[in-house]
Structure 1
């Protein structure tokens, strides 16, 4: 049986905490937190849905599709990781800006294409350098 790779380094606890919160929180709580931290427009870019749809999910009038729930949890994990290492403003700015680890695409755009692993890896590089 192989060992599971654990995050290492001085910020490993931040990585574990961000993952735990993304797994433990309910999806509505995650949506509300992301709306508050990122704003409706940026969240809409990430999930490629209208702000109105996001509001319906938050109000529980429409169920969140499973694939979108995974994307929201991944996004929340990234935001938690960056916020814990810096601030919510840093997390929002980091998601919007061009990123050299992601071929100068914004992490928000990369998340919207389903490449959450690449974004999480880039976020880890960012927090380890700060």
Structure 2
């Protein structure tokens, strides 16, 4: 059994965030991201109109593969921030200029499918950097 003092709590958080992002349905992911980020911001991130989000959340339509990929990656970033930040702070983080993204917002970078860059910026934010 590994020594509890040697387990990296941040690695556990990353694993939990990943697991949540792949285990939840697109309906649940869409609903949660709309709740925290708002309909307009999430629509911008996935490149769809807000009505599409309502249909995805209701389960009457499904996102295309590209849109689902963006949703799941955005949710993974949200799940990484969620244990340590308030919904208000998470939404502001997604919207604001980020120095690790060359002053682009995480929302813009996600819409451009720069998932690794956004994940790195989120881990840095969680770690206080």
> Is the pair's TM-score, using the shorter chain for normalization, greater than 0.5?
yes
Where does structure 1 lack aligned partners over 5 or more consecutive residues? Answer: 1-7
* Partner residue, 1:3: none
1:8-55 deviation digits (Å, cap 9, x = unpaired): 844222111111100111111101111111110110110111101111
- On the 8 A contact 1:82/1:88 being kept in 2, the answer is no
1:52-97 deviation digits (Å, cap 9, x = unpaired): 1111222223221011111100000101111112122211110000
Where does structure 2 lack aligned partners over 5 or more consecutive residues? Answer: 1-6
- Partner SS, residue 75 of structure 2: helix
| Greater mean deviation of Cα atoms: 119-128 or 54-63 | 54-63
| Greater mean deviation of Cα atoms: 88-97 or 60-69 | 60-69
- Partner SS, residue 105 of structure 1: coil
Task: State yes or no: 1:83 paired with 2:82.
Answer: yes
